[in-house]
A and B are shown apart, each in its own frame.
Chain A
Amino acid sequence: MEEPQDEIQEDAADDLFDAGLDTDGDDDAGSWLDEAQAAFGLPEPLPPLSLTPRPYQKGALEAWAKANGRGVVVLPTGAGKTVVALMTIEAAAVSTLVVVPTIDLLHQWHDTVCSRFGLKPEDVGMIGGGFRARRPITVITYDSAAMPRRDLSDVGLLVFDEAHHLPSASYRTIAERCPAPFRLGLSATLERSDGRHDDLSDLIGPTVYEQNPETLARDKHIADYKAKRIYVDLTDDEQILYEQLSANYSWYMAANRRKLMMSGASNLFEALIRVAGHDPAARAALQAHREARMLAMNASRKGDTVQDLLRQHQSDKVIVFSEWNSVVNDLSRRLALPAITYRTAADERRDILTHFRQHRYSKLITGRVLNEGVDVPDANVAIVVSGSSSAREYIQRLGRVLRPKPGHACLYEVIARGTSEVKSAARRRKTKTESSASTAGA
């Protein structure tokens, strides 16, 4: 996307809407914006924002303004989506509700809004996690905002952090009930496994700006990174067991394909899950599929590879990711790595992250719990021991090493050769590449 650098002013907020409206040639839009600002205006003007935006952040703001203040901005983790939101809040100058998915992010957003606008903590509202203070600018959790009695009638600007959560059945009511004329969605990747990401264009607006990690890394806005796949072989015993389990699954699917196709499910695997509810043979096939997948993802030689990588990166800050908590616990125990899973107590999790941030710990292993919604300290190296085929998960994990830093960041994917994991790894990367390509084409 070409940056209209010459048109971008130092204070983008002042002429933001005029610039967008002139381009569209919409004569009525100016009055509409005035009306919106009159209806939802802030009681007191905001102090000026204390930050210097990067060019692509200005570009994102401009694209959003050109779309009449409704749209989604897709930027990788570490690229400063929060800054785009803060610029939007300043530009719109209306009562704002920032909707976030977790309590961690609730506090993080509250602190950021306060510090960047120079506001006192009590001047910025916070709802969720035991807080109930509503102010002209308020940060709220998705759960709290979706409560049926929550009054959203006075909101002028809705900001959805991690906007891919919004299309779910219970959260979409937030956008549907709220009359806010300005809406901004932020996400590193919009892809949802249920395909509902298409609903975002109705709930928020179209994707108005997108940048992929490669472009931003090339321009030095995020860390330059290398992604590398490392293949490991299953042991002989594992390979035999894997083939047996795969054969059990494949045989059932082949022998029952007609029955499964008649079940009305959208694909054969979904049909298998349905049938497994009452058919022991289907349940056995499903179990075999799951065990084969676990075997591939938890291949014993992956542990040795992780040790080799840790040896290579002795002085780096490393986060090891695994799809399975059993692997997290096993590697944590074998290699004395601090571990964070869903079972880790809040106090211990906070201590581990604090120590990691303060460089007192240099290595950390975790499951899916740190994929998003948690303020994870930056690292140089990410090792993905196992992962799903989701591009979103891949991008989120990649994002943990992308914050700007001197030198290269590395992302290693450890993949069991000759198993379904090879396809999963290819799929998540392909989906990510397709997503980037389609944006570039647009």
Chain B
Amino acid sequence: MAFRLEDFKKVARKSAGSSTAAIYPHQIKDRKMHARIDMAIRSYDNLVGRPRKEMDAGAMVYFLGDHRVARGIVACLGQQYRYETLPVSKAAGAETARQLALDGMLAPADFRSKAYEYVNATRNGWVSEASRMDCYGEIAAPYRIAPETWDALMHLDAEENQVLVRVGDMPAPADIVAQYNYHSLDTVLRRATKVVLQDLALANPEVADIRALASAYGCRAAFSAGNSTVTLTDLEMSSLLPRRAGRLARCLMLILHCLNTTGMSGYCEALIGARKVRLILSIDILQTLRGGAASAAAAGLKARYAAVSALHKDLLKLRAKGEANGWRYKRDPDPVVTGGGLWLPDIMLSHGKKQVAVAFGGRHPELWPMPMLRLSADNADAADVLSRAAELIMTQRPALTVVEMPVVPVQQEFDWDEFDSLAVAA
């Protein structure tokens, strides 16, 4: 996730004679901010279950002092807190909801459709304010519900009536700070036109891997200085359409997470609006992007990309055969960022509000705020594993939107007994 440019706090300095400004994305380093962010999290948590109209959007800006930082933090909180439509059963009662469902009215749009049909059949397509409740009373009478309830059911999904829900556990201030710092950097990286990585000690197979990876993402990798410098450029730089954005950033992240890049330095050139800027990839920035995954991982770049492609293809075949059971797949999703570190999933499986992240190789902490599967790159039947795992998660924890579950270790043969016990225990 990148911040919107108008919400992106940064400093840009241009030296004399240079056409490119140096950019410094804002990073929260001051521990004093943790107390304020903690308060912001608590204020959000107190509003869980409350409608949106009770949220004072301006309060956070005044509280945090800077509107850009405030909007960035709110965007990060949005990963754990979101507004959802109240179910009909909660608004009208379970028995009434069941009766309404029998009549095909399951969602607010169904109630609206019924009301508009009636209003057009009996009242020239509109009702005056004075006679609205009488009209709704006529519609709602067969279901034995009050006209006010009918009115509320029609607009349950209106923005101001949606209620705040928390996804997973309450985040810690460190989680929000880590997300803010990463997304602030990502805002520049997603607009990158060139990434230069220096002081690398690459072996020939790694050079080939980087070249293949870059090519697969529609980028070009050029090597110089005895393979110690790699320059990544977008092959389609002439048109940086939003949908094309982020390929260079993804290549950079994969290189950082899959190769031994200790001691590396570099910079990235990007277009922020119409302005050309340069972001120096300092030790601190690289540390934020690595998120603790400092050493070489189990899977090499090329092997990882090939495995992800094969799995993605298998999953698409499952869907084509109608065996996906409603699961959707997204390749190269956003990294999962917490105070404990950063994890780079390869595929995100989602089913309604449920999500399962899938990664090949890579080091990561023990716990993440969503269920995940870690597969070895040579798992022959990964699609089947995933479909069974996804089903299991659905069966075991159908009421939860997100399940916290320990990571399943990499292995050649997928141990279903162990996976079952872990999922059940979770």
Contacts and interface: CB of A to CB of B under 8 A. Distances in A.
Contacts of B128: 307, 311, 335
B116 A336 contact: yes
A148 B238 contact: yes
Nearest to B240: A170
A134 interface: no
Contacts of A345: 109
A363 B241 contact: no
Interface in B130-188: 132, 135, 151, 154-155, 158-159
B51 to A, nearest CB: 14
B126 interface: yes
A336 B126 contact: yes
A132 to B, nearest CB: 15
Contacts of B158: 329, 333
Contact of B132 (A336, A352, A362): A336
Contact of B241 (A170, A329, A347): A170
Contact of B239 (A147, A343, A351, A355): A147
Interface string A76-93: 000000000000000000
Interface string A343-367: 1010110011001000011110000
B155 A283 contact: no
A336 B239 contact: no
A378 B115 CA distance: 23
A233 B115 CA distance: 32
A153 interface: no
Contact of A173 (B124, B132, B238): B238
B187 to A, nearest CB: 16
A335 B241 contact: no
A335 B115 CA distance: 11
A258 interface: no
Interface string A249-293: 000000000000000000000000000000000010000000000
B112 interface: yes
Contacts of A336: 115-116, 119, 126-127, 132, 135
A249 B125 CA distance: 41
Contacts of B34: none
Given A147-B239, A336-B132, A362-B120, A348 B127 contact: no
A338 interface: yes
Contacts of B151: 333
A120 interface: no
B34 to A, nearest CB: 25
Contacts of B127: 335-336
A100 to B, nearest CB: 17
Interface residues of B, number: 27
A315 interface: yes
A147 B240 CA distance: 9
Interface in A137-172: 143, 146-149, 170
Contact of A334 (B67, B113, B129, B239): B129
Nearest to B120: A361
A382 interface: no
Given A149-B236, A283-B67, A314 B124 contact: yes
Contacts, number: 69
Interface residues of A, number: 32
Nearest to A345: B109
Q: Could you tell me the dominant secondary structure of chain B's interface residues?
A: helix
A148 B234 CA distance: 12
Contacts of B132: 334-336
B137 to A, nearest CB: 13
Contacts of A74: none
B418 interface: no
B239 A146 contact: yes
B117 interface: yes
Contacts of A335: 126-129, 132
Contacts of A46: none
B236 A361 contact: no
B103 to A, nearest CB: 17
A173 B241 CA distance: 12
A315 B119 contact: no
A315 B127 CA distance: 13
A335 B135 CA distance: 11
A383 to B, nearest CB: 12
A262 B125 CA distance: 55
Contacts of B124: 314-315, 362-363
Contacts of B120: 355, 360-363
Interface in B232-249: 236, 238-239, 241, 244
B155 A333 contact: yes
Contacts of B154: 333
Contacts of B241: 143, 146-147, 170
A173 B112 contact: no
B109 A347 contact: yes
Contacts of A352: 116
Contacts of A126: none
A241 to B, nearest CB: 17
B129 A307 contact: yes
Contacts of A361: 116, 120, 125
B340 to A, nearest CB: 34
A152 B328 CA distance: 33
A310 interface: yes
Nearest to A325: B159
Contact of B125 (A146, A283, A363): A363
Contact of B117 (A148, A170, A347, A360): A360
B116 A343 contact: no
Interface in B94-129: 109, 112-113, 115-117, 119-120, 124-129
Contacts of B129: 307, 334-335
B126 A337 contact: yes
A118 to B, nearest CB: 34
Nearest to A334: B129
Contacts of B135: 336
Given A149-B236, A336-B132, A351 B113 contact: yes
A209 B128 CA distance: 46
B217 to A, nearest CB: 14
Nearest to B127: A336
Contacts of B155: 333
16 contacts: A146-B239, A147-B241, A148-B244, A170-B241, A173-B238, A318-B125, A333-B155, A334-B129, A335-B126, A335-B127, A335-B128, A336-B119, A338-B116, A348-B109, A362-B124, A363-B124
Given A147-B239, A348-B109, 11 more contacts: A148-B236, A148-B244, A173-B239, A311-B128, A336-B115, A336-B132, A345-B109, A348-B112, A355-B117, A362-B124, A363-B120
Closest 9 CB pairs of A and B: A362-B125, A363-B125, A148-B236, A314-B124, A148-B239, A336-B127, A348-B109, A336-B119, A335-B126
